[in-house]
Amino acid sequence: MIKGMTLVREVASADALDKFSRLMLALGFEQGKGWQDETSRGVALLSPLGNLELMTGRAPAVPPILIEVLGLDAVHAAVEKWMLSNYPGEAGDLLSKPELTHWNSRLFTVRLKDDAGEGLELGFWQSENPLHGKPAAIEGDLSAAGMRVAIVTARWNAVITDRLLQGALDALYRSGVAKPDVEIVRVPGAWEVPSAARTLAESKKFDAIVTLACLIRGETAHYEAIYNEVARGIGQSQQDTGIPHAFGVLTCETLEQALDRAGIKAGNKGFEAAIAAIEMVSIQQKLREQGDKK
């Protein structure tokens, strides 16, 4: 089994080696176990990830050592500060600006040299692809054509829940759910939401259930008691039936906070709950398809 990889590269002089190692340690590399004998000396610099790339044909126009980073501009600023301190009057010639490459990234180079003019060239780069480096994962799509969705909404605090309902319907219709495939059930308050949600889920007529309600804290413990049971009931219904339940129950300190979460300032949580329901249905479908192939 492969445990790790080490790239051994000769540096022109001890001075260049020392400068290179100081810069790498300043940027966050971990100090490894170095070595020294009668004829040579080595410095080990450890990073979280190492890659070995082999090639044939024309070599790419990049430095032989490439270091992938996050926050390329911040790294460039740190390298520039270090270069100005260690190569006064020469930093501008030895350090390039970050530039776009043809391989969907940005790159800058730096050359570390010794008194004899010999040295080592490095490249620091950052991918412009937001999915670069992320592990392959099963993710849901937001196309909801053919889905049947039930929405359970509380009448209590209707000034809020009606806005949540409007947001949920907007998300469903925009994503391709046909209007006849949406069932809206109104219950008296948040306490009654789990019971209706479970009945709908057990009917097996719906791919997902969207639950909407609003609880605003009062001066008694009533708020906590209701919320805990509502959350537990919705979660239990989802676990027992296997039907995705989207949680769009607001728990707020004030009416103003509730209005903000119903579309005034902080987005519409009904819209977000419906989108989450669509994604979870898609994920379940993909997981079942993957299981059928095995």
Report the candidate in 42, 49, 54, 66 with the shortest Cα–Cα distance to residue 4.
49
Q: What is the mean pLDDT of each successive set of 10 residues along the chain, which is 294 residues long?
A: 74 83 87 86 85 78 87 93 90 93 91 78 88 71 89 92 92 92 95 95 95 81 82 94 93 84 81 93 88 68
Q: Is residue 205 classed as helix, strand or coil in its secondary structure?
A: coil
In sequence order, the β-bridge partners of residue 248 are: 212
Q: Is residue 233 classed as helix, strand or coil in its secondary structure?
A: helix
* Whole-number pLDDT of residue 81: 93
* Whole-number pLDDT of residue 133: 67
Report the candidate in 288, 281, 286, 284 with the shortest Cα–Cα distance to residue 176.
281
What are the residue boundaries of the structural domains of the chain, listed by start?
14-127, 149-293
User: What single-letter amino acid sits at 188?
Assistant: P
Pair of tokens at residue 293: 């192939």
* Whole-number pLDDT of residue 173: 92
* Whole-number pLDDT of residue 260: 82
| Active-site residue flag, 222 | yes
* Whole-number pLDDT of residue 96: 95
Strands (E), 69-207: 99-100, 105-113, 119-127, 149-154, 182-187
Question: What's domain 14-127's architecture?
Answer: 2-Layer Sandwich (3.30)
Count Cα neighbours of 4 within 13 Å in the Cβ-side half-sphere: 6
What CA–CA distance (Å, rounded) separates 164 from 3?
A: 52
Count Cα neighbours of 69 within 13 Å in the Cβ-side half-sphere: 25
User: What single-letter amino acid sits at 202?
Assistant: E
* 68 within 8 A of 127, measured Cβ to Cβ: yes
* Whole-number pLDDT of residue 11: 80
* Whole-number pLDDT of residue 40: 86
Residue among 76, 102, 132, 222 flagged as catalytic = 222
Q: Domain spanning 149-293 has what CATH number?
A: 3.40.50.960
Pair of tokens at residue 231: 């959350």
